[in-house]
Amino acid sequence: MYWEKEIELLSRADLGKLQVERLKKTIEQAVRSPFYQELYRRKGISAESISRVEDIRELPFTTKQDLREHFPYGFLSLPKKETIRLHSSSGTTGNPTVIFHNRHDIDSWANLMARSLYCAGVRDTDVFQNICGYGLFTGGLGFQYGIERLGCLSIPAGAGNSLRQIKLMRDYGTTVAHAIPSYLGRLYEVFQEEGLHPKKDTQLHTLVIGAEPHTEEQRRRIEEMFGVKAYNSFGLSEMNGPGVAFECTEQAGLHIWEDAFLVEILDPETLEPVEEGETGELVMTTLDRQAMPLIRYRTRDLTRIIPGTCACGRTHARIDRIAGRSDDMFIIKGCNVFPMQVEGVLLKIPEVGSDYLITLENINGIDEMIVEVEVKKDWFNGDIARLDRLSRQITHQIRDEVLAKPIVRLVEPGTIPKGEGKAVRVVDKRKLEIVNS
Ligand code: AMP
Ligand code: ZN
């Protein structure tokens, strides 16, 4: 049932004790880095400042800006010689975010990944295809090490080239695959173009989906298309990458591994803890990292702790699927909008295909939200009135959800440009930049 029973079922009291112990160690380690050394010395903070988990609230936050300003080695807590790998974000503007790992860090990350996959029902008898970019992006190697630790036969397929992905699946009898959710709609279309169906022509039983925001509607669609169970995987490079929080087979929230991460949910404005079960910004502290500990890192991801215990028996808290990022909210016609609100509306409509794009643009002096929506091909058979009705229906439903009226454009499948990485959901031409890259 469990990968590491003694840790996964630890009582809350014992988990708290372990966290205090590890937090102290983390501070001792962190102050070896130029950044924390200077900051903590100035503020008089040391491991002795901590006697209970709550004492963490006295410590200052760490932000992406801090990471960028102290690029590349300002957060390194070990001699460079002891590190063995770095991962870094693409970072279209300014310095990238880089995270360093020593052997211990890679080992404990692999273990967290194996634990995560096991809790989603993956076993060493599975054939696991990792449809994900390898290299600096953490989804490739992060998963690879976990899959191997678990003992599955791994297929390090990499991203893209759908025909090849399908061939690999069929040649080797892939039973589990990991991909970003926005890619799977495209993959399914290619199955169809080839006259194949994943339910009949593959042995897939599980998909692991994550690395980008998606709605419950998106998950259900993926499960339906592929005839599988799809489990949500959450992580961020600053906290290693994947393996931070993962759904168990109950699909009732993502267990966030509290022996490795200390979790706070704070009001993004006041930075005070929210009420139990309320949504706020996820703030995280590494508890088991040596090369580059991070303390009170502001992820900008918005979520909540799901109250109560999980039927699987694991004691580690569960977070809800990410509602959005505090920095991907946009304002249009005076309304605050999260892309996931629009996705939630769109994917409830059966005629809507797998892709959409929101463009914010100033048209004749008025800011407009243009929503391009792919709909199934047979809708473009010349019946303009039918398309028109659908377009009006979508317009009304989006307006009811976000309060701003969009301009809806229905397009054929494959029209919206698709890269190999995470989907771009919003292009803000008012500022001439991509909002959620
Ligand atoms: P990166 O460090 O480039 O891999 O990006 C990490 C970010 O991707 C997180 O901070 C989230 O905003 C997003 N992300 C990762 N996994 C998920 C997920 N399962 N659901 C929603 N957003 C996710
Ligand atoms: Zn569970």
CA atoms within 13 A on the CB side of 418: 20
Q: What is the pLDDT of residue 437?
A: 46
**pLDDT tens digits, residue range 150-201?**
999 999 999 999 999 999 999 999 999 999 999 999 999 999 999 999 999 9
> For a pLDDT cut of 90, what percent of the chain falls above it?
91
Q: What is the pLDDT of residue 308?
A: 97
- 202 touches ligand 1 (CB under 6 Å): no
Q: Best substitution site from 141, 214, 231, 236 to test ligand 1's pocket, by max atoms within 8 Å of Cβ?
A: 236
Q: What is the pLDDT of residue 93?
A: 64
How far apart are alpha carbons 339 and 361 in whole angstroms?
A: 16
Those residues of the chain that have pLDDT short of 50 are 433, 437
- 213 touches ligand 1 (CB under 6 Å): yes
Ligand 1 centroid vs 364 CA: distance in angstroms?
36
Q: What is the pLDDT of residue 94?
A: 75
Ligand 1 centroid vs 213 CA: distance in angstroms?
7
What residue owns the CA closest to ligand 1's atom 7? Answer: 236
- 233 touches ligand 1 (CB under 6 Å): yes
Q: What is the pLDDT of residue 419?
A: 79
Q: What is the pLDDT of residue 6?
A: 98
Q: Best substitution site from 86, 109, 209, 212 to test ligand 1's pocket, by max atoms within 8 Å of Cβ?
A: 212
Q: What is the pLDDT of residue 89?
A: 82
For the chain, the residue count is: 437
What residue owns the CA closest to ligand 1's atom 9? Answer: 236
Nearest-atom number in ligand 1 for the CA of 213 is 21
